Structure 1
Amino acid sequence: RNADESPLTRLRRTTGRNGKPLIDDAEFAAGERLRADYTRAQLMPRVTADWSSAIPGGRRGGGMADLADAAIGARRRVEQALAAVGPEFAGVLVDFCCFLKGIEEIEKERCWPVRSAKLVLRLALASLARHYGLTVSARGSRSGIRHWGSDDYRPVVDPQD
């Protein structure tokens, strides 16, 4: 495949005002993983007729039964990923990462304001990266939770009292 044909690669090369790429390595990897699974799952619409399943004698293939185990597994992974990001982000991720539509094309088709798709894509890719476990998750302090009912609670006393 040609990496330059991917709008995800172009978005990765684009830098923001701070000079850093608009998407980080985890978000880029998540988008590429979705694209690879989508392709492996054979979900792309066909442009021409499929003559590979024509069998003499009038018998035809059975749909899902003809798919290889790898394709079925890939379909399951795509479904889980799209369910994890939710319906708000699923469509834009499929358009951008799988159908290779550009940002301007997505904005035009969805009647979005100019430059709004970049923000939505960044949020969608961050959610996808989190689903794949590619992001570093935030952790709280090691001191534990402190609340008014705990043993280590000390009320704040006003020095003027």
Structure 2
Amino acid sequence: MRKLVERELTSEGPRRGGERSKGRRSVTVNLGESTLSWLHARGHIDDRLFQAGEILRRDFERAQLSANVTMRWDPVRVKTTGDQGLSATERQVAAKQRFDGAIRAAGKGLEDVLWRVVCAGEGLPEAEKGLGWPARSGKLVLKLALDRVADYYRIR
């Protein structure tokens, strides 16, 4: 999905007479681009790590682990050709099991950055700040976590 919008950025400049001056500029943002796809497009992560992150995000979404705002009214059994005839609930449970396994495979201390960047869509600077990490450390830790997730999903 490619949805471009203009966003205004404000930055506070140096003090002038006791007040902070504000500089303004606007940038074009692609709302369909995730942090993971941004890193991949610029060569910061390879295809294997990108694929692992996308599969993890897909399992997160299929397991419906994000906040819900309404009730589901799906029938109990859905006739499908794929997913070995599983119902929606069974597919959701299977996705949750895969997601939990991938997070466990990443290891203690790495699941936070995976969830924040891959599932919640936070940028690396925000994730680093939220986790209390030094600036520019998130990319290295994210790559380690994605490598373990890629091993879990058997991506070569």
State the TM bucket, normalised to the shorter chain: 0.5 to 0.7
Give the structure with higher Rg (CA): 1
Moved more, 107-116 or 2-11: 2-11
Counterpart CA distance in 2 for 1:82 and 1:112 is 20
Which residue does 1:31 correspond to in 2?
Answer: 53
Mapping of residues 3-152 of structure 1, within 5 Å: 4-14=32-42, 21-46=43-68, 48=69, 50-52=70-72, 68-135=89-156
Moved more, 122-131 or 31-40: 122-131
Counterpart CA distance in 2 for 1:129 and 1:52 is 32
Task: Map Cα deviations across residues 125-158 of structure 1 (whole Å, 9 max, x no partner).
Answer: 11111111113xxxxxxxxxxxxxxxxxxxxxxx
The aligned amino acid for 1:74 is: A
Relative to structure 1, the CA distance from residue 51 to residue 39 in structure 2 (aligned partners, 3 Å threshold; closer, same or farther) is closer
Which residue does 2:81 correspond to in 1?
Answer: none
Using the TM superposition, give the Cα deviation of residue 45 of structure 1 relative to its aligned residue in structure 2, in angstroms.
Answer: 1.5
Counterpart CA distance in 1 for 2:41 and 2:49 is 13
Does the CA-based 8 Å contact 1:12-1:22 persist in structure 2?
Answer: yes
Counterpart secondary structure, 1:5: coil
Unmatched tracts of structure 1, length 5 or more: 15-20, 54-65, 136-161
Counterpart CA distance in 2 for 1:111 and 1:132 is 29
- Root-mean-square deviation over aligned CA pairs: 1.9
Using the TM superposition, give the Cα deviation of residue 85 of structure 1 relative to its aligned residue in structure 2, in angstroms.
Answer: 1.1
Higher relative contact order (CA 8 A, sep 6+): 1
Does the CA-based 8 Å contact 1:7-1:96 persist in structure 2?
Answer: yes
Does the CA-based 8 Å contact 1:35-1:98 persist in structure 2?
Answer: yes
The aligned amino acid for 1:84 is: A
Does the CA-based 8 Å contact 1:22-1:122 persist in structure 2?
Answer: no
Task: Map Cα deviations across residues 9-66 of structure 1 (whole Å, 9 max, x no partner).
Answer: 001122xxxxxx22111110000000000000000023x3x2557xxxxxxxxxxxx9
Counterpart secondary structure, 1:133: coil
Unmatched tracts of structure 2, length 5 or more: 3-30, 74-86
Counterpart CA distance in 2 for 1:112 and 1:26 is 25
In the superposition, the TM-score normalised over structure 1's length comes to: 0.65
In the superposition, the TM-score normalised over structure 2's length comes to: 0.67
